[in-house]
Amino acid sequence: MTVAKKSTTKTVEPAIVEDEFTEPTPIEDEVQAEEAGEDEDPKRTFTIELHGEPLVLEDAFPEGKIPAALMFLTPKSSDAQLAHFGGLALQQILGDEQLMRLFELGASTEDLQSVVPAWRDARGLGK
């Protein structure tokens, strides 16, 4: 003789645990901000003149910081200091892509020398 077992099924509602894991993670916050169209770090720009036309460049250096190479660029800097530290400052302020873009557009030495003063003015730094 076979005996059939009676099965009983209970529905269990999941418990909601309120702890630190119910808050959105920083990554989730970032994704939500992107989906909402919010830009946490608005792009800072400044303008130089290239071949008689204004050219808008993006400030690639972190807000509130100043490239260390600028400490060595003074009115009394030697040509060797200007060549070495000026190039480093340009690379830090513009980033590689924008610096390459300036070269591709045929920027002269005078054009490149106008970047740091324009950047300083845009940042509101003293002369």
User: What confidence score (pLDDT) does residue 41 get?
Assistant: 59
Instruction: List alpha helices for 36-114, DSSP H.
Output: 79-94, 96-104, 109-113
69-127 confidence digits (pLDDT tens): 888 888 888 888 888 888 899 999 999 999 999 999 999 988 998 999 999 999 988 75
Q: Is the pLDDT of residue 67 over 80?
A: yes
User: What confidence score (pLDDT) does residue 49 get?
Assistant: 94
Percent of the chain residues past pLDDT 90, beyond the cut = 36
Average pLDDT over residues 2-19: 64
**How many alpha carbons lie under 13 Å from residue 26 in its C-beta half-sphere?**
1
User: What confidence score (pLDDT) does residue 2 get?
Assistant: 67
Average pLDDT over residues 49-58: 94
Average pLDDT over residues 27-50: 76
User: What confidence score (pLDDT) does residue 71 get?
Assistant: 84
Bridge partner residues of 57 (DSSP) = 46
More confident residue, 94 or 3: 94
DSSP 105: T
**How many alpha carbons lie under 13 Å from residue 101 in its C-beta half-sphere?**
10
